[in-house]
Amino acid sequence: MTLKIALVQTNSLVGNIDFNFNQITEIVMKTRSESPVDLIVFPELVLTGYPPEDLLLRTDFISQVNGILFELAKLAPEIAIVIGFPEIFKGKLYNSAAVLLSGDVLTIYRKQKLPNYGVFDEQRYFSAGTDSCVFELKGQYIGIGICEDTWHSKIVEATKKAGAEILVTLNASPFHSGKAQKRESIISKNASAAQLPIVYVNMVGGQDELVFDGASFVMNKNGEVVLRAQEFVEEVRIIEFDGSEPIPAYCAPSYTPLSSDYAALVCGTRDYVYKNGFKGAILGLSGGIDSALVLAIAVDALGAENVEVVSLPSRYTQAMSNDDAKEQAYILGVTYHCIPIEPAVNAFTAMLEDTFANMQSDTTEENIQARCRGVVLMAMSNKQGKLLLTTGNKSEMSVGYATLYGDMAGGFAPIKDVPKLLVYALAKYRNQLSPVIPERVITRPPSAELAPNQCDADSLPPYEILDPILQRYIEEDQSSQQIIDAGFDKQAVARAISLVDRSEYKRRQSAPGIRISVRAFGRDRRYPITSGYRGT
C-alpha cells in the first residue's frame, strides 16, 4: 500500500486570513488536478501567517478562523489536509494543527512545546497541548508535531508510542545562517532514535525581521534525507511512502552559507517591499560597499525597473565615490539621480550660526550632513511611494556608527544583521555570479566621508578585529574578560563593548532588517535603553 504526501512550503501573509485561505485553496485544487495525493501538509499557522504577534489577542481576528476550516475541509474531501491554525478550545488559545478529511475535521493536534526565547513569544499567546495525536490514513498511522515539538526527542518518541508510523511536522522555523543544517541534524537524531520517518514542512518568505527558508525535507526512519525542497522558493514537493518507507525523491543540493545568506536577504527584501504595498525601492548610493551591496540585493529582489538610486555628494565626497556610484547604477540599469547636499547644509549652518557661536565643530556638523541626505531621500520616497532602504550594516548598528534620521532614515534595513566582513564576502559572492559591484568599491578602505579624509579605521578598530569581538559580545553573550582571554586586545574590546552598550537608543529607533545571524538586533536581542550595565 502506498501513500502520497505533498509538502507545501507556502508564503503566507500575516494577518490576512482571506488571502491565506485563497492561496491554500488554489494549491489544494492545483495539486489535486495535477498530481493527486493522499495527504497535503501545510506549515504551522499557515492560516494566519507567522508570527501574528498581538493580532492573536483580538477576538475578531481569531473568530475569522472559525468556519474557514470547514470550508477548507469541503475543498477536496478525498484528500487529507493538515493545516496549522490558532484554535480556541475551552476558552484557551492553542497553536494547533487540524486534519481535514471527508468534509470534516478528523482530529486536532495542539502544540506542546511553546518556544519563548530568542525571536519567539509563544507563551504570550498560547496554552500548551499535552497529548500526542495519531490518525489513520489508508492503513498507515500518521502522527503530528508542530515545530519545536519535533526538536524534543521525548515528544517524537511519545508520538511513536502512540502508534505513529510516520510523523508529519508543521513548521514556521525562521532562517539564520546554518539553520537548515542544524535543523536536519537534530531532526535526524530524533527520527533515528525513535525509528520514525519524518515529513518536515516549513514556511517560506519574509515577515518583518524574520525570513523563512522553506528547505522542507523528508527523512526515513534512519534519519537520512530522502527528499529536500529548495530554499527560499514557494513549492510543492511530493513524497511517496511504501508502507512507512519513503521512496527517495528530489533532493535540492545542500546550501552554502554565502548563497543562503544572500538568498535570505533577497527574499526578505522582496517580501517586505511587496507585502507592504510599495511600488519599489529607493536608496542613497554613496560609492561605498554597504549601499553597493544593498543595491545588488534590491535589484535581485525587485528588478532594476523598480529600483532608484540617489547620489548625494557633499564637499567631503571624493570624486571616485561619485564615479563608482554612477558606474554601478549604469551596470545594473537602475534610475540614477545626483543631488548635491551643499545648499541644505549651508542653510542649516547659517541658521545655527548664532546659536553655535563660539562652539567647536564636532559630530553635530557630520550629523547635519547625514540628515540632509535623509530629508532628500525621504522626500523622494514619499513623493513616489517607493520604500527607502537604509544601508547600515551590523557592525555599524552595533557600535552606533550611524546617524539617527540621517543614514538611518528608511523603512527597511536589508543588511542590518550583516557584519562588515560578511558584507565584503557577500559582495564578492554576488560578483562571481555576474559583475554588479565595481571592483574599486570592494577594495578601497571604508569611509563615512563626513569630514575631510575620514576613514572608519580612525575611530574604530579594524573590522577584522571588531567583527569577531562584536560576535562574541552580542551573539554569544561573552564577557569582556572572556573576549580578552581569547586573545583580543584589551583596549579594542573595551572600546567596542562600550560603544555597543551606549548605542541601544539608536537601535531602538532603527528600521527593521532581516535576521540572518543567531542573534539579530530587534525582537531577538531585547536590551533596556536606560541601563547602568557596562560590559567592561
- Which positions from 142 through 181 interact with a second copy, judged by CB under 8 A? none
**Which residue, 444 or 525, is less far from a second copy as judged by CB?**
525
**Does 19 help bind a second copy (rule: CB under 8 A)?**
yes
207-246 positions binding a second copy, by CB under 8 A: 207-208
Shortest Cβ 363–a second copy spacing (Å): 7
Considering the complex, state which of residue 218 and residue 267 has its C-beta at the smaller distance from a second copy: 267
Torsion of CA 290, 291, 296, 301, to 10 degrees: 110
508 is a contact residue toward a second copy (CB under 8 A):
yes
Distance in angstroms (rounded) separating the CA atoms of residues 63 and 44: 18
Are 43 and 11 spatial neighbours (Cβ–Cβ below 8 Å)?
no
User: For a second copy, which is the closer residue by CB, 208 or 290?
Assistant: 208
Pick between residue 222 and residue 481 the one whose CB is nearest to a second copy.
481
Q: Does position 475 bind a second copy by CB under 8 A?
A: no
Q: SS3 for 338-352, per residue? A: ECCCHHHHHHHHHHC
Q: Which of residues 405-424 bind a second copy (CB under 8 A)?
A: 405, 409, 411
Of 359, 432, 445, 487, the one binding a second copy (CB under 8 A) is: 359
Q: Which stretch binds a second copy (CB under 8 A): 150-158, 251-259, 313-321, 339-347?
A: 339-347
Please say which residue, 38 or 213, places its beta carbon nearer to a second copy.
213
The residue range among 55-63, 66-74, 77-85, 255-263 that interacts with a second copy, by the rule CB under 8 A, is 55-63
- Binding to a second copy (CB under 8 A) within 274-313 occurs at 275-276
Q: Which of 162, 124, 156, 122 is nearest to 141 (CA)?
A: 162
Stretch that binds a second copy, among 27-35, 243-251, 283-291, 522-530 (CB under 8 A): 522-530
Q: Which of 44, 165, 209, 396 is catalytic?
A: 44
Residues 91-150 that bind a second copy (CB under 8 A): 116-117, 121, 123-124
The answer to the question of residue 529 lying near a second copy (CB under 8 A) is yes
Residue among 340, 454, 475, 498 that touches a second copy (CB under 8 A): 340
Q: Which is nearer to a second copy, 219 or 514 (CB)?
A: 514
Least distance (Å) between residue 500 CB and a second copy: 12
Comparison of 55 and 106: residue with beta carbon closer to a second copy? 55
Q: Which of 495, 400, 525 is CA-nearest to residue 117? A: 525
Q: Which of 6, 39, 73, 344 binds a second copy (CB under 8 A)?
A: 344
Say whether 125 sits in a helix, a strand or coil.
coil
| Catalytic member of 87, 113, 122, 147 | 147
The answer to whether 284 and 310 are in contact (CB under 8 A) is yes
> Catalytic site residue 326?
no
Residue 331 in the binding site for a second copy (CB under 8 A): no
Task: Map the footprint of a second copy across residues 75-94, applying CB under 8 A.
Answer: none
Please give the torsion angle defined by the CA atoms of residues 409, 414, 415 and 416, in that order, rounded to the nearest 10 degrees.
60
* CA distances (Å), origin 534, targets 422, 463, 494, 495: 27, 22, 10, 11
Q: Is the peptide bond before 51 cis (omega within 30 degrees of 0)?
A: yes
Here the cell at position 337 is 539621480
Considering only residues 253 through 272, tell me which ones interact with a second copy, judged by CB under 8 A: 271-272
| Stretch of residues binding a second copy (CB under 8 A), selected from 127-135, 239-247, 319-327, 374-382 | 374-382
Task: State the Cα–Cα distance between residues 26 and 75, nearest whole angstrom.
Answer: 10
Between residues 135 and 175, which has the closer beta carbon with respect to a second copy? 175
Distance CA 399, CA 346 (A): 29
What part of residues 478-507 is at the interface with a second copy (CB under 8 A)?
479, 481-482, 505
Report d(CA 525, CA 480) in Å as an integer: 18
The Cα 193–Cα 157 span in angstroms is 8
Least separation in angstroms between residue 391's CB and a second copy is 16
- Written as nine digits, the cell of 525 is 536581542
Centroid of chain to Cα 46: 17
Q: Are 328 and 283 in contact (CB under 8 A)?
A: no
> Has 372 been annotated as catalytic?
no
Pick 361 or 432: Cβ nearer a second copy: 361
Contact region with a second copy (CB under 8 A), list: 96-104, 220-228, 346-354, 421-429: 346-354
Cα distance between residue 6 and residue 31, in whole Å: 8
Shortest Cβ 473–a second copy spacing (Å): 10
CA distances (Å), origin 190, targets 184, 198, 216? 10, 9, 16
Strands of 225-228's sheet in order across: 134-137, 140-146, 166-171, 198-202, 217-219, 225-228
22 binds a second copy (CB under 8 A): no
- 533 near a second copy, judged by CB under 8 A: yes
User: For 436-474, b where at least 16 C-beta lie within 10 A, e where not — what string?
Assistant: bbbeebeebebbbbbbeeeebeeebbebeebbbbbbbbb
Is 29 an interacting residue with respect to a second copy (CB under 8 A)? no
Task: Determine which residue in the list 66, 256, 364, 459 makes contact with a second copy, applying CB under 8 A.
Answer: 364
| Cβ distance to a second copy smaller for residue 244 or 482 | 482
Q: Of these, 351, 433, 455, 457, which contacts a second copy (CB under 8 A)?
A: 351
Q: Look up residue 387 and give its three cell numbers.
A: 520604500
Q: β-pairing, 245-247 with 235-242?
A: antiparallel
Residue 147 is a catalytic residue: yes
428-467: contacts with a second copy (CB under 8 A): none
Nearest to 508 by CA among 406, 397, 378, 392: 397
Catalytic residue among 4, 87, 111, 179: 111
Residue indicated by cell numbers 508510542: 161
Residue 74 lies near a second copy (rule: CB under 8 A): no
Enzyme catalytic residues: 44, 111, 147
